[in-house]
Amino acid sequence: MTKKPSYEELEKRVKALETEIMRLASAEQECSLNEARLQGLIEIIQHPAERVHEILEFALEEAIGLTASKIGYIYHYDDKQNAFILNNWSRGAMAACAITKPKTTYNLSETGLWGEAVRQEKPIVVNDFKAPHPLKKGCPEGHAEILRYLTIPVINENRIVAVVGVANKESDYTYSDVLHLTLLMDSVWKIVQRKQAEDALRNNAELLRKTQEIARLGSWEYEIETGVLRWSEQAYRIFGVDAHASPLTYSSFLAAVHPDDRSAVDRAYRASIESGGKNYDIEHRIIRGDTGEIRYVHEKCEHIRDESGEIIRSVGMVADITERKQTESRLRKFNEELERRVLERTSELKKRTRQLQRLAMALSQAEDREQEKIAHVLHEDLQQMLVSARLHLDIIDSTDNDEHKTILIQKTRKLLQESLKKTRDLSHDLSPAILSNAGLGEALGWLSRRMRDQYRLALTLETDGFQRPRSKTLERFLYRTARELLFNVVKHAGVTEARATLYSKDGGVYMIVEDQGKGFDPSREDREKPGMGIYSIRERIDLLGGRIEIITAPGKGTRSVIFIPDTGEKAALYQSIKAEEAS
């Protein structure tokens, strides 16, 4: 027969049973909290947030639910500036808050009790917030009422990076609340770090993509053992290949290289491998897959080795350098053209130098001829006439015969008249006054009459359409050229008639001198006597920026067509380079 337990034994069993029930209830509650925390983490992870701020907003609401609180906050903490920066208040806190302009940043020195989580580097629990506390500094007017309060620091890599606070649980906050809130926020911060790392990676990838697009620079990676070739988005764009086409290989890359460059590119890459890792660096042409356009690229890579030192992978870049190549080509052509023009200008300068030398000689010879002519007129003609006139005057003074005096006076008067005519003719030959006063047309008319009187050359002059040029230098040059051409007609053409035409057109003056005389072979212009023939006239016209066309042949007469631009007095003086004096 079983002995009944005593009252004391039954009391002990009941107390043991109560203890076990409480332990099981606590364990069940702990399991529920763990389950709630894990479920919260799952929901946080699955929450479709684009930004870290949104993740933390959602995590704060989960923390409030996990601790059975009513309100809460999350502040980021900058340990270098000792500053708190608000991430967000919970929805319940915002509804209960009546502060008109709440602050979002605080210095650690400004904070009261809620800053102790940072100062003491541990959780702070106050289950009777209304009771006096030495660390409290009070709340601003309109702040949500706080009854119970829990705040924890969020520590990452031994640094406090944030503080989380929850408040107004119906019952007291316990160690379990501290533990689960700490575990939750530690996990949340790992999620935040991963999100930040993903954002940074995505931003860097986008920055790299944009940079490559702007710089027309792509990247590539080639696995030597598997033959797999990977291109960046910009590399596909450079080669004009669809990124969704069949997988890339080394052979498909070579197929995109210009046929004339393909062997050189292949040799260069293989040589960089066989030489023990010498970098591959080459410029070559490609044919774009989409347009067939020929482009220039610069490729460069480095080789990656495994632990044994064997090359297993190549990582490189490809840059579209077509514009640079086109610029280099244009610069090369420009330099070639510049060199050609320099050579032409040098040749032209040498030619002009020779012309100036010949014209200087012509000027010297012309001066000699003028001096000889003046000397001949003064000595042989004028001086003899004046001597005769003086003798006549001496005889007049010594004779008393009036009839004889009258005859001598008449002879003396005639000698003086001839002397004046010789002087006037000499002056006109050097530079007729009519040229300066009335212009080229009138001066050629005077020359026509003089050629008729002195050389019996009948000159027909036409000046319809002629306007007096602005440049007097041009007028003097054309007058002396016409006179020289007409003297050539007198000396060589063997005719007594000639024609001269003068008209203005194309910004300059045309002058045509023609005859029906003997003509000559233009290929045998007299180059041994500068200033004496057509060759000298041609050089002087060239220096003035004009041109001359001579149409002639033996027995066919001569037609000289001259054009000189009317560039004004100063320009004409500069262009002539003393051509006027040489004429």
Condensed to tens digits (0 to 9), the pLDDT of residues 476-489 reads: 888 888 888 998 89
User: How many domains does the chain fold into?
Assistant: 4
Q: Are residues 295 and 408 in the same domain?
A: no
Domain boundary among the residues 168, 199, 230 is at 199
| 74 has pLDDT over 50 | yes
Please check whether residue 333 lies inside any domain of the structure.
no
Please indicate, yes or no, if residue 132 is contained in any of the structural domains: yes
Is there a single domain that holds both residue 111 and residue 147? yes
Residues 98 and 59 in one domain: yes
Q: Which residues of 94-133 are buried (b: 16+ CB within 10 A; e: fewer)?
A: eebeeeeeeeeebeeeebebbbbbbeeeebbebeebeeee
Do 537 and 458 have their domain in common? Answer: yes
CATH number for 305? 3.30.450.20
Helix residue spans in 47-158 (DSSP H): 52-66, 91-96, 116-119
Helix (H, G, I), strand (E, B) or coil at 243: coil
Least confident of 34-38, 470-474, 563-567: 34-38
The enclosing domain of 495 has a CATH number of 3.30.565.10
The pair of three-digit structure tokens given for residue 148, joined into one six-digit string: 């119970």
In a shared domain, residues 436 and 478:
yes
**HSE toward the beta carbon, residue 336, CA cutoff 13 A:** 6
- Cβ neighbours for 146, distance < 8 A, ≥ 6 positions apart: 71, 129, 139, 167, 168
Same domain, 52 and 167: yes
Residue 374 sits in which domain range?
350-430
Residue 192 lies in a domain: yes
Q: Is residue 334 part of a domain?
A: no
> Which band of pLDDT confidence, cut at 50, 70 and 90, is reported for residue 392?
confident
Average pLDDT of the residues of the chain:
81
Evaluate whether residue 142 is within a structural domain. Answer: yes
In this structure, the answer to whether residues 394 and 381 fall within a common structural domain is yes
In this structure, the answer to whether residues 446 and 379 fall within a common structural domain is: no
Instruction: Kindly state whether residue 555 falls inside one of the protein's structural domains.
Output: yes
Residue 212's pLDDT is 62
Cα distances from 566 to residues 11, 223, 472, 511, in angstroms, run: 138, 77, 10, 13
Of 320, 339, 360, the one marking the end of a domain is 320
* pLDDT-based confidence at residue 439 (cuts at 50, 70, 90): confident
Q: pLDDT tens-digit profile of 261-307?
A: 999 999 999 999 888 766 789 999 999 999 999 999 999 988 988 88
* Co-location of 34 and 156 in the same domain: yes
Q: Are residues 473 and 493 both part of a single domain?
A: yes
Greatest mean pLDDT among 9-18, 199-208, 314-323 lies in 314-323
So what's the pLDDT on residue 84? 94
For residue 488, being part of any structural domain is answered with: yes
The verdict on 191 and 278 lying in the same domain is no
Q: Which tens digits make up the pLDDT trace of 124-152?
A: 999 999 888 888 887 878 888 899 999 99
368 lies in the same domain as 465: no
Q: Report yes or no on 82 lying in a domain.
A: yes
Longest dimension (CA), the chain: 216
